[in-house]
Amino acid sequence: MTELDSTWSKGAFEIAQYNKRGPMNMRVQGWVNGPFGIDQRSYRTWVITHIVTGYSLGVYKSLRVAKTCASLIAPRHKWESMRTVPTGSPRWKETSEIIHHWQDHEKDGWS
């Protein structure tokens, strides 16, 4: 399973974007730690991305909460070797619950 370093580094990575012509990759600047990147999409929106696939894993109001969530989901999978995000697997269901739990905390004022 994946373990994250205690520090995040500034860096560039690609995210998957979809438009009328289909999927395309876009390079963004943000924070990188292992297989995850976090970038700011708007003034108060931070997104965790699985760097290998470009798949968005969650949207948060604060960078601190996004980093916390990434550190909690990291040990659940072998993220570095994943070529697709297994959204149908039982383990993914548990991962998704962690992601949504932290998003709900922000809605309740825990940011």
Q: Is the residue at 57 inside a domain?
A: yes
Once rounded to an integer, what is the mean pLDDT over residues 94-102?
Answer: 82
**85 contacts 51 by C-beta, under 8 angstroms:** no
Tokens 């040990």 found at: 75
Q: Is the residue at 2 inside a domain?
A: no
Cβ-based neighbours of 80, under 8 Å, separated by 6 or more: 2, 34, 35, 52
**10 contacts 29 by C-beta, under 8 angstroms:** yes
Query: pLDDT tens digits, residue range 5-20?
Result: 788 999 999 998 877 8
**Helix/strand/coil for 95:** helix
Q: How many structural domains is the chain composed of?
A: 1
pLDDT of residue 111: 47
Q: Is the residue at 33 inside a domain?
A: yes
Q: Is the residue at 92 inside a domain?
A: yes
Q: Is the residue at 15 inside a domain?
A: yes
pLDDT of residue 1: 64
pLDDT of residue 18: 77
The phi, psi pair for 95, rounded to 5°, reads -60, -45
For residue 109, name the pLDDT band (cuts at 50, 70, 90). Answer: low
Which of residues 86 and 6 earns the better pLDDT score? 6
Q: Is the residue at 50 inside a domain?
A: yes
pLDDT of residue 49: 93
**17 contacts 23 by C-beta, under 8 angstroms:** yes
Q: Is the residue at 3 inside a domain?
A: no
Model confidence, pTM: 0.83
The phi, psi pair for 72, rounded to 5°, reads -80, -35
Q: Is the residue at 1 inside a domain?
A: no
Domain of residue 18: give its range. Answer: 9-107
Query: pLDDT tens digits, residue range 31-72?
Result: 999 999 999 988 889 999 999 888 889 999 999 999 999 999
